[in-house]
Structures are given as C-alpha cells and as structure tokens.
Amino acid sequence: MINVLIVDDEPFIRQGLILLIDWNSLGFQVCGQASNGVQALECIRTMRPDLVISDIKMPEMDGMQLAKIIYEQYGGEMKMVLLSGFYEFEYAKQAIKYQVNDYILKPIVKEELLQVLEAFRKAFMERTEEKRHQEKQEHIVMTQQVQSILLGTADEDTLASIQVSYGDVMTKLRCLMIETESEREQQQNDGSLLVEAHINQNHAGYVLKSFTGEKNRVLHIVTDLLLKREALSLEQYVTRLYTELSQIQGASIAIYVGKEVHRLEELHESYYSCGKIKSLRFFSAYGPIYYFEHMDTSVFTNQPAGREKQLFDGLIQAIEEQQTEDIRGHAQAIFQFFLEQRIEPGIVGIHLHYLAYTLLGLVNRDDTDLNSDEEWMQSTFLQTNYAMLSMEENIENLCDFSYTCAEKLKERQKWNAMGVLARVEAYIHEHYMENVSLKLLGEHFFMNSAYLGQIFKKHYGVSFSDYLNQIRIDEAIRLLRRTDYRVYEIATKVGYRDSDYFINRFEKIRGETPAQYRKRAQTMHNSDSSSCAP
C-alpha cells in the first residue's frame, strides 16, 4: 500500500477527502491527518508517508513552506500534491521548484483527483521497481566483493569500497560460520534461509550465503563496531545469536567463530580458520559454539600464500583460449600443489568451489542467473566431497568440468559473434556511404578489429572490404539506371571519395566502366520500349 498523509486546516475537507474515493481499491491507505505544516512534519517523522496531500493556506506553517522542507530533507523519497482555492502563478512556480507532483484547485473534482493518484501510483511503482533492481544489483556486487575479501583475492579498490560501506574504522574483525545441522537436507536448506533472514533483519553485521556449495551454511562478519553498538562482548553476542537462532527453527545450530584479525585485508584468515575449527570439532570438548582461540590447530600447515591463485589462473586461461590439450596438466598441477602443501581437505573444498564458480561466471558472464542451468549445478565436480576421493578421481572430475566449460564457452562465443555480425551487417547497409572501416566497427561494437575481420570472412566468404565494395557498387548500379547523376556524383553518394578509384572498383566487379554500364542499360531500355510500342 502507498501511504498518504492529508494536511488541511479544515476538518471537513480532510474528512471529505477520505470519503471521496475508495483509497484501498486504488492501492493507497491514509496513514494520518494534520491541520497544518508543523503537525504534518511530526507525522512525517513518525509515519514516513509516500505522498503528502496538503492545502496551501494554513496557519503556523503553510503548504508551500511544508513543500520546501520536504524537498530539502527528503528529496525524491517523498512526493507532494498541493491543494488551493485559486490558481496563483507564483505558487505554481514555487511548486515546480520544490518538485511538487501536482497542483489541484478546490473544490476538488473526484475524477481529477483519481487521475492524479493513478499517475502517482504508476510513477511510484516504477520508482519502487527501479530501486529494488538497483538494491539487488548493489547487493550482488557487495556480495562478490566480500566473497573476494574472504578468499584473499580482493584488490585495493574492493577493500576501499567495503571499508566505506562500514563507515567507521574497524580494529577487530571475525568471520562466523553458522551451520544448520540435520539429517534431512531440506531442513538444512530451510534452516540456513531462516538464519540469513534473521541476521539481516535483526543484526548490523554483514551476512552472506556460503559460496562453496554448502547449502546449510551462512557466513556472518562481526566487527568491534557491531559489538560496540550492541553493547556486548564477543562471547555475549555469539551466545545471544545462538539462542535466537535455535528458537526460530527445529534443527540444531553450530557456530564456528573464526580467528580475530585487525585489518579488512586479513579477514580471509578468519574465514579459513572457520574451516579449521570445523575439522577439529570432534576432537574438542566445546560446542555447539567453537572459538578459534580454544582449538589446537597446530596439526595443519599454513595456508597457501597466493600460489593456488596462479595455478587457477593458468587453468582459466587455457579454457578461455581453448587450449584443451593443456587442461589436464593444469588440473594435475593444482592437486599436486595441495598434496605437497598438505592442505586440509575442507580448505581444498573451499578453493575448488571458488574455482568452479569462477569458471561458471566466465561461461555465463552475459547471464543474470548462474543457477538457470540445472545440469551444470548438478555437476559431479560441484557435488563432490573431495576428501572422500583419490587424487586421480579429483583430477578427473576437474578435467571433465573444465572440458565442459571450454566447450560451453566456445558455443557462447560463437553465438555472440553471430549476434554481433547481424548488427555489423545492418550497420554497414545503413552507413555504407560513410567512411566505414573495420577499425571503426571494432570500436563501435567493442570488438578487436582483426578478430572481427576474421569472423566476418569466415561467415560471409569474402573479406570485409570486398563485402563493402559490393554493397556500394550495387547501389551505384541502381543510381546509374534510375538517375541522371554524373559518375563522380554517384561515387560520392555511395561512399567513394575518389571517382577514379570508384571507376576502377566498378570495372573490376562488373567488367565494364560505370559509363559503359549506363550506356548499355539505356540501350536495352530503349530497345524494350520500342518493342512494346503499338
């Protein structure tokens, strides 16, 4: 419902407006009334209406003063319709200045008010949808940025962007990994959705779904700023969170509290430490809340220091460049690295799922939803428990997935190229008389000009230059037959700046000069005309 505040110093007018139309059937509800601008501002602060319908002439604060304050304090978030017993040009000018939606004269005509409300409702819904879409896009970007920070692959711009979103300077950060534990997969999935929704609604720390395939897992970023706002210690906050989450669902909850770090770029250490804690939980007397500081993690080696990203980049590049013969070598190098470094299996899973979704993003970069292809999401590689397989089996699964990605990417590139060629062809037919070149087309369609030339020749069987010349000569033929333009004029009209070059190209394609062609065409036309004479 769209909330409406009615402001008028005459009670019978306020009541009349409420009774004049069926607000609910139009998608509106009157959330409050006020007798002047001062009262209206109090209502606005508590009710935050979407639309204010206000008289202009009122005591204490009139409608125009109210419009000014709404414009200055709320900008485009709140709209306004003004009522007046007579039309004044100066009022109308001020109304425009303060972005008032409409100006209605009293006595109010029902049909006119309905038109104004319908126009507002339509604009309101469009703004709401646009805002929802923008927020969704911003959330996607933010999620990707936080994900890259957790994985330790974020660049300086990403770190700066997230730092700005938090506002104040953080000195302590932790990653919490919250898991719903149940024998029933559906209950796990439903539980994680409840956890995510509850934290989003009731807590200020950032929360995101697991991006490594575990549907029962939610990640929650806790900072010293959050604890300060909540006026709680870390242990008090986590205990309260555990109690709240346990009450909203039947399944059990486990919370893994990662290592404390002091800079945003170190947050990946806290994230990885959650995996370590989970691996050791059965060797611990603690639970169902597990703190990194309470666990003995000395049995594991240090995390890889960037080497795994270089290995992943090598595989990704081989897939991008269709070097399928190199894929197996890259896959073997990745697992050999994990083996030599003795990386804990849970961490291997995190890295490989990151690689998998990076490849999915590469193949589906023009799609809005990576989950649209169910066959892909059910891939053996994405569903694998890496710790349960041999090294050879893991390598084979990664190779199969990589080959599929390479083939899919090849298909996508082919279809993208065909789509571009159709637009290129249309552009050439529309602009052939201009200075069209492969360089210009490449810049216009955001493609490498050399690659564009290659796919153009492969598709049309002729070079771009020959194709363009043929279009120009075909148009020149039409002009030679149907107009009296001179040859040099026709050359200019079809895109040739040099008439001698035009004549040369024409003769090469048609086997005769333009003048010879015109003369022959006219002779044939006259002959046909004579034979048709009575």
Please check the confidence at residue 204 and state whether its pLDDT lies above 70.
Answer: no
Is residue 325 domain-resident?
A: no
91 and 173 co-located in one domain: no
274 and 185 co-located in one domain: yes
How many folded domains does the chain comprise?
2
Is residue 532 domain-resident?
A: no
Dihedral sign from CA coordinates of 348, 354, 360, 362: negative
Is residue 37 domain-resident?
A: yes
Q: Which residues pair with 173 in a beta bridge?
A: 223, 261
Structure confidence at residue 28 (pLDDT): 94
Structure confidence at residue 492 (pLDDT): 92
185 and 124 co-located in one domain: no
Average of per-residue pLDDT across 35-62: 91
| More reliable by pLDDT, 92 or 519 | 519
Structure confidence at residue 40 (pLDDT): 93
Residues 58, 53: Cα–Cα separation, whole Å: 13
Per the CB < 8 A criterion, the answer to whether 112 and 53 are in contact is no
Question: What confidence tens digit (pLDDT) does each residue in 287-313 have?
Answer: 788 888 887 655 555 455 567 778 888
pTM above 0.85, yes or no: no
**Mean pLDDT for the chain?**
80
107 and 215 co-located in one domain: no
374 — pLDDT class (breaks 50, 70, 90): very low
Please check the confidence at residue 55 and state whether its pLDDT lies above 80.
Answer: yes
106 and 205 co-located in one domain: no
Structure confidence at residue 88 (pLDDT): 63
Please check the confidence at residue 466 and state whether its pLDDT lies above 80.
Answer: yes
Long-range contacts of 476-481 (CB under 8 A, 24+ apart): 476/502, 476/506, 476/514, 477/510, 477/517, 480/514, 480/517, 480/518, 480/521, 481/518, 481/521
174 and 124 co-located in one domain: no
Question: Max CA-CA distance within the chain?
Answer: 114
Share of the chain above pLDDT 70, in %: 79
Give the DSSP letter string of 151-180.
Answer: HT---HHHHHHHHHHH-SPPS-EEEEEEEE
107-121, 221-235, 295-309, 511-525 — which is least confidently predicted?
295-309
100 and 188 co-located in one domain: no
Question: What confidence tens digit (pLDDT) does each residue in 142-189 have?
Answer: 777 777 888 888 888 888 877 777 666 778 889 999 888 765 666 666
534 — pLDDT class (breaks 50, 70, 90): very low
Say which amino acid occupies 308: E
Structure confidence at residue 417 (pLDDT): 58
DSSP H stretches of helix in 364-496: 374-377, 380-383, 391-431, 438-444, 449-460, 464-482, 487-493
Residues 48, 70: Cα–Cα separation, whole Å: 11
Share of the chain above pLDDT 90, in %: 21
| More reliable by pLDDT, 33 or 349 | 33
Residue 239 sits in a domain whose CATH number is: 3.30.70.270
Structure confidence at residue 370 (pLDDT): 40
Q: Which of 379, 318, 373, 311 is nearest to 339 (CA)?
A: 311
Please check the confidence at residue 439 and state whether its pLDDT lies above 60.
Answer: yes
Write out the two tokens for 525. Answer: 């036309």
| More reliable by pLDDT, 196 or 474 | 474
Is residue 78 domain-resident?
A: yes
29 and 119 co-located in one domain: yes
Is residue 502 domain-resident?
A: no
What is the four-CA torsion angle of 29, 33, 36, 39, rounded to 10 degrees?
-110
Backbone angles phi, psi at 473, to 5 degrees: -70, -40
182 and 284 co-located in one domain: yes
Please check the confidence at residue 384 and state whether its pLDDT lies above 80.
Answer: no
Write out the two tokens for 63. Answer: 């409608």
How far is C-alpha 52 from the chain's CA centre? 33
Per the CB < 8 A criterion, the answer to whether 192 and 216 are in contact is yes
Please check the confidence at residue 424 and state whether its pLDDT lies above 50.
Answer: yes
Domain boundary among 128, 153, 183: 128
124 and 227 co-located in one domain: no
Residue 23 sits in a domain whose CATH number is: 3.40.50.2300
Please check the confidence at residue 385 and state whether its pLDDT lies above 80.
Answer: no
Structure confidence at residue 286 (pLDDT): 65
14 and 117 co-located in one domain: yes
Please check the confidence at residue 117 and state whether its pLDDT lies above 70.
Answer: yes
| More reliable by pLDDT, 533 or 445 | 445
Structure confidence at residue 533 (pLDDT): 46
Is residue 328 domain-resident?
A: no
DSSP H stretches of helix in 82-217: 89-97, 110-151, 156-166, 185-202
Please check the confidence at residue 348 and state whether its pLDDT lies above 80.
Answer: no
Domain boundary among 276, 294, 312: 294
Is residue 282 domain-resident?
A: yes
Average of per-residue pLDDT across 5-29: 92
Structure confidence at residue 344 (pLDDT): 66
Please check the confidence at residue 383 and state whether its pLDDT lies above 70.
Answer: no
Full domain range(s) for residue 57: 2-128
Q: Which helix (H) or strand (E) holds 55?
A: strand 51-55
532 — pLDDT class (breaks 50, 70, 90): very low
Domain boundary among 294, 319, 351: 294
177 and 284 co-located in one domain: yes
Is residue 421 domain-resident?
A: no
